[in-house]
Amino acid sequence: MTIIVDPDKSSFLRAAPRLMQILRVLARHNFLSALRGKRHWPSPKEVRETFEELGLAFLKFGQVLAMRRDLLPAAYIDELEQLHDQLPALGIEAVRSTVEAELDAPLTEIFTSFGEAPLAAATIAQVHEATMKDGRHVAVKVQRPGLEAMIATDVAALTYLVALVEKLSPRLRALDLPVLVSEFANSLNRETDFNHEARSIMLFRAALADVPDLWIPDVVAECSSGSVLTMEFSTGQRVDLYAKEHPQEMPRLINTLVRLTLQTIFEEGLFHADPHPGNVLVLPDGRLSLLDFGMTGELDEPMRESLTLLLEAVVKGDARAATESYLELAPQGSEKVNRGALLLDIKAVLYDIHRSDLANVSIGDSFDSLLKAGSRHGVHNPGEFFLLTRTFVILESMIRELDPDHDYLGSFREEIARLTTKHFSVERIKEKTGKLAREMERLMSDAPGDTRRILRRFAEGNLGRLQSPAIEALGGRISRNLERLTAAIASAALVIGGAMLVLAPLDVGWHHGAGQIMVIAGIISTILVWIGVFRNDRGRGSGRR
């Protein structure tokens, strides 16, 4: 079963009983007095206990709020991060009923053994150990029944509650609470869709296939659905427990963690958003095993490019470049942002980072400071950036727990250097050059005909009084200019590609010669383009005389 969360389809009458229950709990914990201002807020502990009392959806909402360090004081964030989502286990009959309904077969026909006691039980699902008919050792993740109605009602009630709060206290509109609730509903929808998690596992397995010290359990597709997820069983030990017994192995394992995190982010646009010790195991052969892909993030190519530029600017301390890259990451509404004021804030953030001991610099905290600076100036930060910040914060915290003396930034720099070398490899440059050449060829072949067709349509429409020969002549001139522009771009690509080869941090030396040849060819091609332009301009001038 896939949960579809759409609060707009839930009527107020349906949500009203739950809304009244929520209001009673909020009143008991002094939340309503918070409308009078920050001095009347309930204590951080009361906030955490309130979310725990309100149940599943609010537990998850509290965990989402824990990521929003730009909205809440640090004491509240620290308390919300302690929210636990452990619930009493479902009985085996409820589990059996769900599995058989989802997989359309009796439990005994699918598995030769199925552990009645769950290995773990959380708000969304619980995990059971089992053995399949063909002997495969598997873990079966079974979703709790009745989540669809429960979540839809709670999200609808939360939506009405946020609207009411904004009416009673307009100053809270600056927090964009409706947007936060919408993002929460979307994330909850993804987390409760096990088909989405199965897809994420497959993507991560493909992206990290070349990491030798890592194993990700595969999905058993024929025994999985929207509410049941069957995976290969991981017989590993939690990484924090392993660290106490094998401290000498931590540098290698930490480097693997850093590599898999950065490689998936910058190469594939994927990241595991919950890399805590319970989701990272060490196998008997010393490899890492990564579990639980219910909370993952995805970055499209423009976001990855902006993120790369942002990291580069933060490392260099270039506040102006950091501001521009940051606004490219969060384009929605950025035209209304006071860029000068934001630039001053980011300068202060980078100053604080660079005056501190580099060994204590945190990437997660640096991103967190940027998010806070942006929120103060009205930047609508994308949800992916919050997830990414959370990822780095959790990862860094785990690394410090595993080995307090480990040079985390050293591992980070080493992996960035490896990825940079890979990006400047001959294979990657050939791939990009081939793609550019195909695009140029398509532009050169299609542009003249497309231009003439467009101009002909203009001539046949409202511009019909223009003479067709004049339109065709104009089309010819535009086509020639497009061809020149294409040639100029191709020349520039040769120069840039050659410069990249010359400057690339590769261990072999022959690439310098190849790069110089490309640069020279690009310059000669540029000169030929300008000679052609000059001759045509002279020819048109002679014709006019």
pLDDT digits (tens, 9 = 90+) for 183-202: 777 778 888 889 999 999 99
**Amino acid, single-letter form, for residue 360:** N
| Greater model confidence, 6 or 163 | 163
Amino acid (1-letter code) at residue 364? G
Q: How far apart are CA 422 and CA 542, in angstroms?
A: 53
| DSSP codes of every residue in 168-202 | H-GGGGGG-HHHHHHHHHHHHHHHT-HHHHHHHHH
How confident is residue 464, by pLDDT bands cut at 50, 70 and 90? very low
pLDDT over 80 at 447, yes or no:
no
**Alpha-carbon span 320 to 294, nearest angstrom:** 36
Of the two residues 199 and 165, the one the predictor is more confident about is: 199
pTM of the model: 0.67
- Of 75-89, 271-285, 351-365, 504-518, where does mean pLDDT reach its minimum? 504-518
Q: What is the mean pLDDT of the chain?
A: 76
Is 60 exceeded by the pLDDT of residue 328?
Answer: yes
pLDDT band per the 50, 70, 90 thresholds, residue 99: very high
SS3 at position 28:
helix
Take residue 384 and report the two structure tokens written for it.
Answer: 């992916």
Q: What is the pLDDT of residues 35-53, one digit of tens each?
A: 666 667 788 888 888 888 8
The pairing of beta strand 214-215 with beta strand 288-290: parallel
Strands 288-290 and 280-282: antiparallel
pLDDT tens digits, one per residue of 255-288: 888 888 888 888 888 888 888 888 899 999 999 9
- pLDDT exceeds cutoff 70 at 414: yes
Rounded Cα gap, residues 11 and 9, in angstroms: 6
CA–CA separation, 151 and 5 (whole Å): 7
Given this model, what pLDDT does residue 468 score?
47
For 14-117, strand residue ranges (E) read: 111-114
For the structural domain made of 88-143+194-233, what CATH number should be given?
3.30.200
pLDDT tops 90 at residue 337:
no
Q: What is the mean pLDDT of residues 430-434?
A: 56
Tokens of 14: 């349906």
Mean pLDDT across 381-404 = 83
Tell me which amino acid residue 63 is. Q
First to last CA, the chain: 79
How far, in Å, CA of 261 to CA of 211, rounded? Answer: 11
Residues 215-248: pLDDT tens digits?
Answer: 999 999 999 999 999 999 999 999 999 999 999 9
Query: What is the H or E stretch that residue 128 is in?
Result: strand 125-132
Q: Are 399 and 260 in contact (CB under 8 A)?
A: no
- Chain region(s) in the chain for CATH 3.30.200: 88-143+194-233
65 contact partners, CB below 8 Å, separation of at least 6: 71, 72, 80, 180
- Please name which of 184, 169, 235, 224 lies closest in space to residue 201, comparing C-alpha atoms: 224
Phi, psi of 271 (to 5 degrees): -155, 145
pLDDT at 140: 96
pLDDT confidence tier of residue 329, bands split at 50, 70 and 90: confident
> Any long-range contacts for 332-338 (C-beta under 8 Å, 24+ apart)?
332/380, 332/382, 333/378, 333/379, 333/380, 334/379, 334/380, 336/378, 337/374, 337/377, 337/378, 337/379, 338/377, 338/378
pLDDT reading at 449 higher than 50:
yes
pLDDT of 488: 62
Tell me the pLDDT tens digit for each residue of 478-487. Answer: 555 555 556 6
Q: Which two tokens stand for residue 370?
A: 């940027």
Minimum mean pLDDT among 30-39, 88-97, 276-285, 335-344: which range? 30-39
Contact 215, 283 (CB under 8 A): yes
Count of residues in the chain: 545
Alpha helix positions (H), 208-333:
239-245, 250-263, 301-316, 319-329
Q: On the CB side of 398, how many CA atoms lie within 13 Å of its CA?
A: 27
- Spatial neighbors of 128 by CB under 8 A, at least 6 apart, are 95, 114, 115, 116, 118, 119, 139, 140, 142
With b for 16 or more beta-carbon neighbours within 10 A and e for fewer, the 310-337 pattern comes to: bbebbbeebbebbbbbbbbbbeeebeeb
Higher pLDDT, 8 or 211: 211
Over residues 445-468, the mean pLDDT reads 54
